[in-house]
Amino acid sequence: MDISDLMSRLGVEERYYTRGPLSVTTPIDGSELAQVAPDDHSVIDEKIALAHNAFLEWRSVPAPRRGELVRLFGDELRKHKDDLGRLVTIECGKLLSEGLGEVQEMIDICDFAVGLSRQLYGLTIASERPGHHMRESWHPLGSVGIISAFNFPVAVWSWNAALALICGDTCLWKPSEKTPLTALAVQSLFERAASRFADAPQHLSQVIIGERAASEQMVDDPRVALISATGSTRMGREVGPRVAKRFGRVLLELGGNNAGIVAPSADLDLSLRAVCFAAAGTAGQRCTSLRRLFVHESIYDSFLSRLKAAYASLPVGDPLQEGVLVGPLIDKAALDRMHYALDRAKAQGAAITGGEHVGDKGWYVRPAIVEVDEHDGIVLEETFAPVLYVMRYDELNEAIALQNSVPQGLSSCIFTRDVLEAEQFLSATGSDCGIANVNIGPSGAEIGGAFGGEKETGGGRESGSDAWKAYMRRQTQTVNYSTALPLAQGVKFDI
Ligand code: UN1
């Protein structure tokens, strides 16, 4: 597949993607797209130093001015949405509408960040001492190391970068080694925006090309104030303690094992569409994909037969083609992991529909429905593929308890028209996840809400709401405007 025209329109010079030992392939047909060169230890060291120096300047630019840079970047994304969305599809294999949707998600977070650049509000606090006032100020934090995953190769970076930039931080981006091309393209668009902005220091945002060692170098470097990492729980288990060892800050977005409940009163047409999109869409390669489904006993048989029929009709194939709904898995390792999960399910006595490898180029599969009796074993693990474990339930309490009984806690949903059930699901004794939805699947969140999850999902929150606070340092300030020096808590210390 020739990407040279696309890359040139996106402003990426050929030398960045035609020379180097790291081969980049497209999951669409497995062919090679490009070759990139990894940054060595000393280059990464230099980039970290540049990011730190840029931060020392950027932190003094007023936040609404910083917002103006993000506005210009959003304009570049609007102009190049088609090309960048297409490149996302080519590099990671999601449907073209999803590639475009991902760029839209970047535009949305830029808009959000521009508004936020005038709203980095702190509190004023009542002081117990006369003639004193207290307040909280939010200050820029430092440089932010962003480690992103192949499945949302650009949007998740932008959730971090748009907020970090308006907060006065600088960015170092280590994209997945499977998707460096989209990162190079975004970098080029960012540099165009920066060149139109008079007071932007150089090196506000830089890309680091490399593999695991490149991430480790950022993770261990105390000049990187915050590490925001998206990926597997295994990765987070290593990153978290390493950053903690140097008392750095982390924001972790790790695995999910998201569940849905289809209650007796659910709108079954709506539920069916939602389940198909959430479980089979994006070939099950969202961290928010639906992986476990609890269907009420009274509707189980009829719902399952409709679900199987819908699955059988899902067009699997080239994600650039109109009408296709399920694109390829990212690589052979992903296919192997899917088959491993299905084998384990079979050994647990599950009945499997679908799951076959399709075609001879790329890594295409038919999404699988796996009917299980026991909520145990492989069902408790996240497999990044379109595998949906389906179970019956009788009492809503039981279904909620099972839903919550996995180590991960990202996203969840219930399909019901019964307000009591919906509210129970959303209550303190309901879903234990960071995201809980009613009559919507667990995936496809908007940028306005805080995104992230509990337990082994890592606890981080990105994107909307007050997630910006992770990118700033909080300072509690007390000012004495009197001529006396009363001490707090009534302490006496007269000299
Ligand atoms: C991810 O899969 O890492 O909620 C992020 C969603 C998307 C983001 C997913 N907006 O499915």
Cβ atoms of 125 and 135 within 8 Å: the answer is yes
Cβ atoms of 76 and 110 within 8 Å: the answer is no
Ligand 1, CB within 6 Å, residue ranges:
151-152, 156, 230, 286-288, 443-445
Cβ atoms of 372 and 390 within 8 Å: the answer is yes
Cα(33)–Cα(18) distance, integer angstroms: 9
Cα(408)–Cα(249) distance, integer angstroms: 21
**Beta strands 224-230; 143-147: pairing state:** parallel
Q: Which of 94, 152, 257, 289 to mutate to test the pocket of ligand 1 (most atoms within 8 A of CB)?
A: 152
pLDDT greater than 90 at residue 292: yes
Cα(460)–Cα(469) distance, integer angstroms: 11
Number of H helices, E strands in the chain: 14, 23
pLDDT greater than 90 at residue 490: yes
- Residue 263, SS3? coil
Ligand 1 atom at shortest distance from the alpha carbon of 287 = 2
pLDDT greater than 90 at residue 401: yes
Number of residues in the chain: 495
Of 189, 197, 196, 191, the C-alpha closest to 80 is 189
Mean pLDDT value of segment 110-130: 98
- Residue 81, SS3? helix
The DSSP H or E segment spanning 275 is: helix 268-280
**Which CA distances in Å does 353 have to 1, 299, 339, 420?**
33, 19, 13, 34
- Check if 253 is active-site: yes
CB-count burial class (<10 Å; 0-12, 13-18, 19+) for 94:
buried
Q: Which of 102, 177, 253, 371 is catalytic?
A: 253
The C-alpha angle 227, 254, 383, rounded to 5 degrees, equals 150
DSSP 8-class letter at 228: E
Alpha helices in 348-418 (DSSP H): 396-403
Question: Count of CB atoms within 10 A of residue 367's CB?
Answer: 25
Ligand 1 atom at shortest distance from the alpha carbon of 435 = 4
> What's the mean pLDDT when you consider all of the chain?
97
For 338-390, the pLDDT digits (tens) are 999 999 999 999 999 999 999 989 999 999 999 999 999 999 999 999 999 99
Supply the pLDDT for residue 39: 97
Query: Distance from the CA of 447 to the center of ligand 1, in angstroms?
Result: 10
Supply the pLDDT for residue 1: 87
For 159-205, the pLDDT digits (tens) are 999 999 999 999 999 999 999 999 999 999 999 999 999 888 999 99
The residue behind tokens 């497999």 is 383
Cα(459)–Cα(14) distance, integer angstroms: 40
Supply the pLDDT for residue 131: 98
- Check if 454 is active-site: no
Using only C-alpha atoms, the chain has a radius of gyration, in whole angstroms, of 24
Pair of tokens at residue 198: 């008079």
| Residues in CB range of 34: below 8 A, 6 or more apart | 3, 17, 18, 23, 24, 180, 181
Ligand 1 atom at shortest distance from the alpha carbon of 105 = 10
Cβ atoms of 251 and 275 within 8 Å: the answer is no
Mean pLDDT value of segment 250-268: 97
The 3-class SS string of 1-55 reads CCCHHHHHHCCCCHHHCECCCEEEECCCCCCEEEEECCCCHHHHHHHHHHHHHHH
Cα(444)–Cα(410) distance, integer angstroms: 13
Pair of tokens at residue 468: 């910006």
Supply the pLDDT for residue 351: 97
pLDDT greater than 90 at residue 248: yes
Pair of tokens at residue 342: 């299905």
Query: In which band, very low, low, confident or very high, does the pLDDT at 285 lie, cut at 50, 70 and 90?
Result: very high
Q: Which is it for the CA torsion 468, 141, 163, 409, positive or negative?
A: negative
